[in-house]
Every structure is written in C-alpha cells, then in structure tokens.
Structure 1
C-alpha cells in the first residue's frame, strides 16, 4: 500500500492499522515530532524577511507585522511583540541597504515604523543606547519637523520617544525632546496641535518630579485623611491604574507578589484609580484582592474621584507609577511589572532602596 496513505491514516487516528503495530507506533511518533518541528519552523518563518527584498515587498511585510492583517494582530495577542518589532526594524534596515530609491511618502512610512518599533526595543532592552537612542531621537525630531501638519502619526512618534525616554529614566532628554515638539506645535493652530501642547505641559509637570520631595495630601477610599509624609521611612510605589485597563490588571499578580515579599522590609504600595467613582473602585479592589491602601481625592465625584489629583501630578495614562525612597524623594517614574524585564527593574530598584 502507498506509504503516504498509511501515514495519513495514522495521523488521522484510523482504527484500521495497515502497518504492524510497532512500526505504526514508530511512524506515528515520527510524524508527531515532524509536525511539531514544522509548526515551530512556520512560526519562526513568520518573522523572517521575505526573499524579495524590494522596497515594495519589504513595506508590505512591515505593514503586515504592524497589525494591518488578522495574522499580525494574533502575533501581538500572543505576546510576540518583541519579535514583531525586531522584524520591522530589520526590514527597515534592509530597505536602507537596498539600492532602490523610495518615494517621499514611502520614506516617511519607513521612518515612522523604524522610530516607533526601535523605541520599543530600546525600552525593552533589546537595543543598546547610545548610539541607538541618540540616532532615534534625531530621526524622530526630523520626522516631526518635516511634517506639514501635526497628524496622528507625528503624535505617535512623539509619544513613542517620550515613553521610551521616561521609561529609561532619561528625564532631561525627555524634557528637551518635548520642548522641540512644542516649538513645532506653536506653528500649528489646529485643535489637535493645541490639545497635544496641553499634554506636553502635563508631561513637563511629571518630569519635574524625580529628585524632588513627593507632595501628596488627599483622602483614602475610606474617607480618612492621607499624607505621603506619614510613609516616610518606607519605600513607596504609587500605582495609577484603571478598572478597565487590561495592562493594569495584568500587573496585579506581580505587584501582589512583590508587595508580599517586601512589605516587612519597609515597602508600601499606594493605589490611585483613574476614571472611576469611589463605589466602583471599592468593588474593583475587593474583586482583584488589592491589599494596599487606595486613595480617593473626591469621594462625591460621580465619574472620576482622582482626576484633579492625577492632573496635578501630570499623570496622563495608566498604568503609571511613581517610586519614592525612604526619605520621600521621587526616584523613578513609570516602573511597572508588566513584563519580566520590568518586574526585574522594580525588584532591582527595591534592592537598592530597601
């Protein structure tokens, strides 16, 4: 009988065994192993650059990686974002190395993808800095300066650079970059540009916190007064989160573990929920078993009891964090244990401060 038919019957779990039982079992195991290897190779090939290295083919590959197809979206959902970013950056470099000339629109598209994905890899630690970081900042500023108007792509580039710099603790560089972006925005009187200028003002407020004594006087969720000075002598992580924020919820297991491991050594977490009234925060913290203190600046607010508090500290998005040392001085912004690297970062900071 044809060998392919026999293998097919074994793979499909046919009750009728054409080969002898021992041979059938061996062939079945070989097929299962081969299938596993093929599956792994197919997954690896998904991130491999196309054989056709023309700019058009590489740009198509980049767009696919970026999430323009359901396949690429599945990559992101399966936590392969680092592989996606590496593939995109590699494709951008391949376009640079090609002898082909790009149109102005194509070149801006390549620059856009290179900036946002290189920013992620630098933040993730997959790329070193400098010179990568310095080159990335220059590329981003040039990308914005060359724009005829401040569109969504320019804002995405700006956000990517600022997030990367803040996440790595390069607060002065972040402030300098924000000033450069603001100079461009002064030439654009659109509502979008003016709105982003306000965001940059809040960012500058937040970037001034590191190195300063933390000032925070408000109320607990229970209504009792709270002052951050009461926690002097402890290392404090202020965690800004939202009840509908999936990355925030993903942080909680790691935060609970780190809290349990270090609380007796003088570590405390203070939760500040954004975008929710007191009743919802109370229910949410019970459901997710958050044992640390929760703050509520305006317990009567019907929508967001901590909005004014967040605005005063320059907090624009969740999850965000502020790490404070035993003397009450802000040491780091944005330390959050969403990924293993960031978990290690927080634990490294605690090893230094506790």
Structure 2
C-alpha cells in the first residue's frame, strides 16, 4: 500500500507542494466569519444561483462553484478559494471545507486545461494545481483519491501539448518515487534503474541528479537502507565520470552515504590521528565494545549527550567499554581547552591538516556523516551493532553486551546515578 504522507513529502521535495496543510490546524475560533467571501467566490456562487433559477439571496449557497469566464478569472477564483477561511463549528466541517476546496480547484483546473483561450503556460499551471489538490485529497484519506491521482497524471502525460505532458511526467515520477518504499523489490529495482538511466541520458542534468538523490533520500528515510545504498552508490559511480568538479564532489559524498548505510553488521575500519599526533591503533580495540562518537564542541546536542557517555564510561570501562571521539572541530585550541576542562579520558581524533577538519574529516567523509552527534557502537568483534547509540540506547546495548554495571560511590556522586532498589 502506498503511503499517502510519503507521496506528499516527495511532491514537496520535487517542487509540487500540496496545498498548505496549515488550514487543517488553524484555530477554529480565529477564522473569519462565513460571510467574508472573496469576490470571485461570491461571483461564482451568484452565477450558480442564477443558472439554477434561484433568488439572488441564495448566492452564498455554493461558494465552491467554478465560474465561467476567462483563464485569468478562473485562476483568480482558484487563488481566492484557497484563501477562503469560513467559520466552523467542528473539525468535521473544517475537513469538509478543505475537501470542497480541493474538488473545486480540480474542476477549475480541468476547465483551464480545456479552455480555448488558455495558453500552454496557463495549462501547465493548471496541471500543477490539479495535482496538488489531488494529492491533498489523498492526504485527507478520500476513498479512491490515490487511484484518481495516478490516473490523472498518466492521462496528462498523453496531452498533445508538450509542456503539459512534460509536467505530468515529472509529477508522475515524483509520485512513483514517493511510493518507492512500498513497492515490491523488483519494481523498486526497476525504478532505481530508470531514474539512474535518466541521469546518464541527460548527461548529468541537475534535475535528473536531484531526482535520483531524492529517490535515495526517500528510501533511506523509510528504512530501506539496502535500496538507498544501492541508489547512492550507483549514482556516485555515474557522477564520478562527470567533468563537473561539483558533481565529482557529490560523487564522493554519495559514496560515503552508501558506505554508512552498509555499516550495520559489518566491520568498521577506523584510522586517523589522535590529539597527541599519533596514528590510531584500531587493532588495539579488538575485543572491546567501542563507541565511535562523531561530535564537536560547537554542537549543542553533542554537549547534552556528553554526561551520559561520561557516566557510562565510568560504569563500564573496567568491563571493556571504550570510546573513540572523532572531533569535527576546526578550532584545535578550543577543542584542547574543552577536553582538558571536562577531563575527557578517552582518545580523540582530529586531523593535523586544517583543510581536513570539520565536515571534511576523512572519517566523516568516508562514512557519510551528515549530522552530529553520530554515535556508532562496535562490538567486541569490531562489527557495528548500532548506528544511534545515544541516551537509553547506549545504556541498553552496554548492559546487553557487558552485563549489569556495578555503581560505586564516586560515580554516584559525580553523575547522580542511583542504584535500583
């Protein structure tokens, strides 16, 4: 089953944002009164009432009716109805209004697409408006909305107007990418191949590269690490052949992302220079449980996590727990002062060459570190068992691997740890 929320996230990333969901969370008491209708909406309601032979007083009966008129007038109606904020008694009325707005936008977009006076630019805008509203209906859980969205996109790809067909193909691809985590393996593999072929065929156009990268991100965020890794790695191979330095740099980053996603369950290679200027002897840590902690003194969340790591180091060090800090600081004096002040007992890595510090640290590049703290836990065999060893997760893993900790008085005093009764 395709995830509706993932489709909308993907469409936003690809530039086809669904109508703002802020309307769903507006305070009902703060919305304008029911009589505050925009001019174009009033006009459409009046026209609908007149056509039905109803008295003019009934003009507010259907503010969602699409007016006749020029493309400009229809576009103005869409803009104004999307800004309409009636007053509602409950959430059900609010959802009903949002649904009607989308339905009216779809109807108005269809009228634009068939309007004899609409130029191709306006038609392309109508495609975007229609698809945005269809996606919103999917997000609202309307029955058949997803099928209608896919069908509409496919139908529009056959439109004789090149701009309309091209826009529909882009949106359809965005929908397919949004659904990629829920696809069967063979279909997901086919989609990855299709997207990467487009990168090669376009000779590394920014649009095609962005689409491929978005596919990898979507798969990664959905927990499809193997598929995301494959997408990143193959895209990296393609970009390495480009003569564009920027794309070459992206190739290196993507290779790191892929390598990082492949880490769980595998041996982690580690090297670098310690603060004392000596090379790290990674083999000396074999047989130990090691936290490889990517951090920096300027990182707030890193500093918030530090007391937890210090406490667990005190509790489990004698049982075989070690920490290797990989500092992404660029200011070495600041790092040294911090380590001395906090009395950090474990090894810290920082490169001698200032050009290889910060996010350019070789280990950060190698494993595609994109955010810190990045806490990777390695077991006694040197294999990665957790990519998010922070807070309670780190404590639970250490207890599982090394057994219950014996809490002594100094640790109780320094870190406020209390024995369980």
- Aligned mates of 1:238, 1:140 — CA distance in 2: 32
- Aligned positions of 1:12-91 closer than 5 A: 50-52=102-104, 54=106, 56-60=128-132
Q: CA distance change for structure 1 residues 304 and 345 in 2, over 3 Å: closer, same or farther?
A: same
Q: 1:218 to 1:182 in 2, by over 3 A?
A: closer
C-alpha distance in 2, partners of 1:330/1:314? 12
| Secondary structure, counterpart of 2:363 in structure 1 | helix
**CA distance in 2 between partners of 1:169 and 1:194 (Å):** 27
From the superposition, tell whether residues 220 and 187 of structure 1 become closer, same or farther in structure 2 (CA, over 3 Å).
closer
Taking a change above 3 Å as real, the CA distance of residues 145 and 216 of structure 1, as seen in their structure-2 partners, is: closer
| CA 276–253 in structure 1, closer or farther in 2 if over 3 Å, else same | same
Once the two structures are overlaid, the 10-residue window that deviates more, 46-55 or 103-112, is 46-55
8 Å Cα contact 2:263/2:384 also seen in 1: yes
SS at match of 2:292: strand
Residues 169 and 305 of structure 1, relative CA distance in 2, 3 Å threshold = same
Measure the CA separation in 2 of the matches of 1:329 and 1:104. Answer: 47
1:27-176 matched pairs, under 5 angstroms: 50-52=102-104, 54=106, 56-60=128-132, 95-98=149-152, 100-102=155-157, 103-112=165-174, 115=177, 131=184, 135-147=187-199, 148-163=202-217, 173-176=227-230
Flag structure 2 segments of 5+ consecutive residues without an equivalent. Answer: 1-28, 30-86, 107-126, 158-164, 403-421
Question: How does the TM-score come out when normalised to structure 1?
Answer: 0.53
SS of 1:142's equivalent in the other structure is helix
- Return the offset for 1:260: 4.0
| Residue matched to 1:236 | 290
For the residue of structure 1 that corresponds to 2:371, the secondary structure is: coil
* 1:296 paired to 2:349: yes
Distance 2:145 2:294 in 1: 36
Q: Does 1:264 align with 2:315?
A: yes
Q: Kindly tell me: are residues 113 and 96 of structure 1, through their superposed partners in 2, closer, same or farther at Cα, counting changes over 3 Å?
A: closer
Quote how far apart the aligned CAs of 1:101 are: 2.0
Q: Give the match's secondary structure for 1:298.
A: coil
Do residues 227 (structure 1) and 281 (structure 2) align?
yes
Structure 1 residue 263: Cα displacement: 6.1
Give the length in aligned residue pairs.
Answer: 280
For residues 49 and 263 of structure 1, the distance between their equivalents in structure 2, rounded to whole angstroms, comes to: 60
Q: How far apart are residue 228 of structure 1 and its match?
A: 3.8
Q: Is the 8 A contact 2:134 2:148 kept in 1?
A: no
Q: Distance in 1 between matches of 2:104 and 2:340?
A: 55
Cα 1:218–1:149 shift into 2, 3 Å: closer
Query: Where does residue 67 of structure 2 map in the other structure?
Result: none
SS for the counterpart of 1:96 is helix
Structure 1 vs Structure 2 CA RMSD: 5.4
- Please list, as runs of the form range in 1=range in 2, the aligned pairs for 1:308-327 lying within 5 A after superposition: 308-310=361-363, 313-319=366-372, 320-327=374-381
Q: Which residue, out of 192, 198, 207, partners 2:252?
A: 198
Q: What is the rounded CA distance, in whole Å, between the counterparts of 1:92 and 1:240 in structure 2?
A: 42
Other structure's SS at 1:50 match: helix
Alpha-carbon distance in structure 2 between the residues aligned to 1:53 and 1:300 = 58
CA contact 1:150–1:188 (8 Å) conserved in 2: yes
TM-score, normalised by the number of residues in structure 2: 0.47
Deviations 1:178-220 (A, max 9, x none): 4543565477544444333333444555566555544434444
User: Quick check: 1:275–1:304 contact (8 Å CA) kept in 2?
Assistant: yes
**Take 1:301 and 1:95, find their aligned partners in 2: how far apart are those partners?**
52
Report if aligned partners of 2:103, 2:133 keep a CA contact under 8 Å in 1: no
Q: Is the Cα contact below 8 Å between 2:296 and 2:327 reproduced in 1?
A: yes
| Post-superposition offset of 1:241 | 3.7
